Structure 1
Amino acid sequence: MQYNGLILDFGGVLTTRMITGPTFEKAEGLEPGAYSRALQEHPDGVRVYADLEVGRATQRQWNEVIGRILGVDPTDLMRRALSCLSPEPAIVQAARRAREAGIKVAMLSNSFGLEPYNPYRDLGLDQGFDVVILSELEQVRKPSPLIYQRTLDALGLSGPECVFVDDTAENLPPAEALGITTIHHDDPVLTAEQLDTFLSRR
């Protein structure tokens, strides 16, 4: 199989692991687990995050809701919550090698919002891609098959021509249904090695 496209998730793939809660909680003086409960268990937190990802809520609204749930200052809260993220060198370099080899590279992300804090720009990951697909702008999120198809259309490639990397297992089957080869990301060095192996078949 010859691969002509590479599709990469943002948080936890192009960046370091999305284990932001403990660092954020310590910085804000919160009890352990408070942040994850606000996002995953509190009805208002679950709702506003889902709405943010598909453009029904703004990042400022997310800041206000999550700040209220946690009892912390909502000002620029998303920036503070993601402050421990940094680019993952092994994956960023693998993406660069792919582009240098003539492979089209896309970033596909369930969005964190773009204003007032743009995490893609802040981490220097808003450039260096042929295609950037953000769920907020598409008004549809992973794992909906539609967002994968839109990514393929933007790349001008078919599913079997592409490899997709994500650290969330549930995001992989809809891509596989379109013929995309998937990698469940866990270790950046191993993932980079897999990508180099797959993408050298040209």
Structure 2
Amino acid sequence: MSRRTGLILDFGGVLTTSVAACALAFERRSGLAEGALLTALAIDPRGLALYEDLERGAISQAEWNTGTGDIIGIDGTDLLGRMLADLHPEPRVIEAARAARAAGVKVGILSNSLGMEPHNPYDGYELDRHYDAVLLSEHYRMRKPDPAIYQIMLDLMELPAEACVFVDDTAHNLPPAEELGITTILAADPAETVARIHTALELPLT
């Protein structure tokens, strides 16, 4: 097999610190029971539907803030911004992406968007400057793991599936990429993720 020349990264939890840890910190600050936020987002059918609609761009962030705040029982004003207050760049993965690009690898971002107003989670990352292709789900009215979004990303990268590595911190987002022939990495510990990226791309680990 020829050397892989494309790296596709999820945003939250890959290019950033842990989203789950961020949610836990928000629960503690807000006096919520541990797990209340994640239950509302991923288990409660109303909250799950709202979250998926937000990622697809079917509702605004302001609408999501209000609806999710009602489910959790707290003020929804700038809820997303408050939730993500402890989300920060993950420097080890960002540096790995920079090193890969410097070595001639195309690097792209494939993110399930959370809207950009009133809170822009991508602010400060300069995605258009530092990455070769950026796909935010709301602009395409679909979300991971919708299979079509992975092919759109490959088209933006101008690379075949077999040439690409995809890194995501959510396990169910990986199988559709694998079915296309993309090599996948489930991100957990950043140091391990970086090591696996370097191995998959056959780059030296500095």
The bucket for the TM-score relative to the shorter chain is over 0.9
For residue 190 of structure 1, what is the amino acid of its counterpart?
Answer: E
Deviates more, 1:149-158 or 1:171-180: 171-180
Tell me: CA distance 1:41–1:196, structure 2 relative to 1, closer, same or farther (3 Å): closer
Do structure 1's residue 175 and structure 2's residue 180 form an aligned pair? no
Q: Which residue of 1 aligns with 2:4?
A: 3
Residue 13 (structure 2) aligns with: 12
Report the identity percentage: 51
From 143, 155, 158, give the equivalent of 1:156: 158
Question: Please, which moves more after superposition, 70-79 or 101-110?
Answer: 70-79
1:44 aligns with 46
Q: Summarize deviations over 1:147-168 as a string: whole Å, max 9, x none.
A: 1100000011000010101111
Deviations 1:127-162 (A, max 9, x none): 411111111111111111111100000011000010
Q: SS state of the match for residue 121, structure 1? A: coil
Count of residues paired in the alignment: 200
Give the Å deviation of 1:198.
2.3
Q: Does 1:74 align with 2:76?
A: yes
What's 1:103 paired with?
105
Once the two structures are TM-superposed, the CA of residue 72 in structure 1 deviates from its matched residue by 2.0
| RMSD of aligned alpha carbons | 1.4
* Cα distance in 2 for residues equivalent to 1:174 and 1:139: 17
2:137 counterpart of 1:135: yes
Aligned to 2:148, the other structure's residue is in SS state helix
Partner SS state of residue 12, structure 1: helix
Distance 2:52 2:28 in 1: 25
Instruction: Give 3-state SS (helix, strand or coil) of 1:36's partner.
Output: helix
Partners of 1:200 and 1:54 lie apart in 2 by: 35
Structure 2: gaps spanning 5 or more residues: none
